[in-house]
């Protein structure tokens, strides 16, 4: 059975919209340092491959209800720099937006972090798609958005050229001979494109990994193409195993067409497991999270102006095809009501039953609030005991639907620790995840593995050396 890549997508106040309201949950970003430290400690002990930090370059009142973890958060590069000094083995992946970032500054920062961490840094490249973020950087949103992937392609190429400014042995450091640098092995970037122009060379040595592993997330055709051409990890949200298998096949076909070895592209799916001591316990947790979801009808007059439109009974009525006027969010769902639901509405009822254990006609039937939660929160959830969740992961691995998972935690720290200490050992028992010491270090070299090595990726050749040799497919894939 294939070895799964397992990383954790860190959201310090929880990934589920109501997670911060759950009893015992961390909820104040001013205390994030302690949560990050504890998360890294637990993740490294569990042997996870990496910690992943997303980003969002704006804030607003609407995020309080839609995605509270985005309201205020630590800068990703700052987070992985902080954690690099207090961890030893785990990979650390930060997000940067190619629409607004400066490639020279980002290349310098990431190369530095890779050197300081011993080759454990990774970079998630995203593109701008939010008007407020454009305004924060003094750009016209529509103009920036139209060209965002064209700029991203140039950005990737510039990063690689900058990272490769120094050849690995460019620093001679011959004290006796008085020779510090071999000038023939220091290369200018000399990139002048439609969106970017960088001369270089970079004033930082080549990263330990050569190039940091590149991650890209998205499901649009242009996003999938970018991932296939340039990324090492393609982060793709999927609704199920069949869709995952199809997207993985499509991505690898695109990678092959781009001149890559398609096996070097790893497809990773985000997943939000709700882990309990038993399935019933996990369902109780999921049930409580649903009950804590606010809907528009909770306000007697009207919800706040920024409240999400899809978090309402009015929106739900359109989904299920039944007039819900006059009903309250906590109205129990009856068989008579469900009889008039659309197929999608009936599917929502099945999802709620699977996640919460609530049965129509039972002692605790599902409510309209549960349906709103299921319809409006798009996270791919798996609810069950540690063994049940591990078995589901293993089934995806056996079907070769994905190469790994980016695990979100509904609440911090309880749900993350339940996954790390409960599910991960079960994954090892099933043979889809290695023992902590099996892949933690290269004993022959006397060092810990780099992130690229943990992900099964070769160290790329220097692009300037490859260009000199006429091998233009090494390191940089042409669009």
230 assigned binding-site residue: no
Q: CA 111, CA 454: separation in Å to the nearest integer?
A: 18
Strand, coil or helix: what is 346?
helix
Burial-class residue 367 by CB neighbours within 10 Å (0-12, 13-18, 19+): buried
**Residues 199 and 163: beta-carbon distance below 8 Å:** no
437 assigned binding-site residue: no
Is the Cα dihedral 129, 135, 136, 138 positive or negative? Answer: positive
Whether the bond between 413 and the residue before it is cis, its omega within 30 degrees of 0, is yes
Q: CA 313, CA 317: separation in Å to the nearest integer?
A: 6
Secondary structure in 3-state letters for 60-77? CHHHHHHCHHHCCCCCHH
Q: CA 69, CA 61: separation in Å to the nearest integer?
A: 12
Q: CA 412, CA 26: separation in Å to the nearest integer?
A: 6
Q: CA 338, CA 342: separation in Å to the nearest integer?
A: 9
Quote the tokens at residue 238: 């999927």
Task: Give alpha helix (H) positions in 215-278.
Answer: 221-230, 241-257
Which residue is associated with the tokens 């009525």?
A: 317
180 assigned binding-site residue: no
189 assigned binding-site residue: no
Q: CA 477, CA 479: separation in Å to the nearest integer?
A: 6
Q: CA 151, CA 140: separation in Å to the nearest integer?
A: 15
Determine if residue 359 is left, alpha or beta; phi over 0 gives left, psi from -120 to 50 gives alpha, anything else beta: beta
Strand, coil or helix: what is 6?
strand
Strand (E) positions, 331-464? 381-385, 404-407, 441-442, 447-448
C-alpha dist (Å) from residue 455 to 4, 5, 209, 450: 9, 7, 12, 9
Annotated binding-site residue numbers = 55, 95, 149, 220
Annotated binding-site residue numbers for FMN = 55, 95, 149, 220
């Amino acid at each position: 059975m294939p070895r799964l890549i397992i990383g954790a997508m860190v959201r310090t106040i929880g990934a589920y919209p109501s997670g911060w309201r759950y009893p015992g949950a961390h909820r104040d970003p001013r205390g994030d340092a302690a949560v990050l430290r504890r998360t890294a400690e637990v993740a490294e002990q569990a042997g996870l491959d990496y910690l992943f930090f997303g980003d969002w370059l704006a804030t607003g009142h609407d995020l309080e209800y839609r995605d509270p973890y985005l309201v205020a958060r630590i800068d990703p590069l700052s987070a992985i720099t902080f954690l690099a000094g207090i961890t030893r083995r785990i990979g650390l992946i930060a997000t940067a937006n190619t629409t607004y970032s400066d490639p020279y500054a980002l290349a310098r920062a990431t190369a530095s972090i890779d050197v300081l961490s011993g080759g454990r840094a990774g970079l998630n490249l995203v593109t701008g798609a939010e008007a407020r973020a454009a305004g924060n950087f003094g750009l016209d949103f529509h103009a920036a958005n139209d060209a965002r992937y064209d700029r991203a392609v140039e950005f990737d190429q510039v990063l690689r050229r900058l990272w490769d400014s120094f050849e690995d042995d460019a620093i001679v450091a011959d004290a006796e001979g008085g020779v510090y640098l071999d000038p023939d092995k220091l290369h200018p970037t000399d990139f002048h494109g439609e969106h970017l122009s960088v001369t270089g060379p970079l004033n930082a040595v080549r990263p330990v990994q050569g190039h940091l592993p590149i991650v890209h997330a998205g499901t649009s055709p242009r996003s999938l193409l970018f991932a296939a051409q340039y990324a090492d990890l393609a982060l793709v949200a999927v609704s199920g195993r069949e869709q995952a298998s199809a997207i993985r096949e499509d991505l690898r076909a695109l990678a092959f067409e781009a001149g890559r070895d398609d096996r070097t592209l790893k497809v990773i799916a985000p997943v939000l497991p709700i882990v309990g001591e038993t399935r019933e316990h996990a369902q109780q947790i999921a049930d409580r999270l649903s009950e804590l979801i606010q809907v528009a009808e909770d306000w007697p007059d009207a919800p706040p102006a920024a409240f999400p439109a899809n978090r309402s009974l009015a929106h739900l009525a359109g989904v299920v095809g039944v007039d819900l006027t006059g009903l309250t969010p906590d109205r129990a769902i009856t068989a008579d009501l469900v009889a008039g639901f659309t197929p999608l509405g009936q599917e929502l009822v099945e999802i709620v039953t699977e996640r919460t254990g609530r049965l129509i006609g039972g002692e605790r039937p599902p409510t309209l609030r549960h349906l709103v939660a299921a319809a409006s929160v798009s996270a791919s959830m798996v609810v069950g005991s540690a063994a049940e969740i591990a078995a589901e992961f293993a089934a995806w691995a056996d079907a070769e639907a994905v190469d790994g998972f980016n695990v979100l935690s509904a609440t911090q720290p309880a749900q993350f620790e339940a996954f790390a200490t409960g599910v991960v050992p079960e994954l090892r028992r099933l043979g889809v995840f290695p023992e902590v010491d099996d892949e933690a270090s290269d004993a022959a070299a006397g060092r810990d593995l780099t992130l690229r090595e943990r992900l099964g990726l070769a160290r790329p050749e220097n692009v300037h050396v490859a260009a000199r040799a006429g091998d233009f497919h090494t390191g940089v894939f042409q669009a």
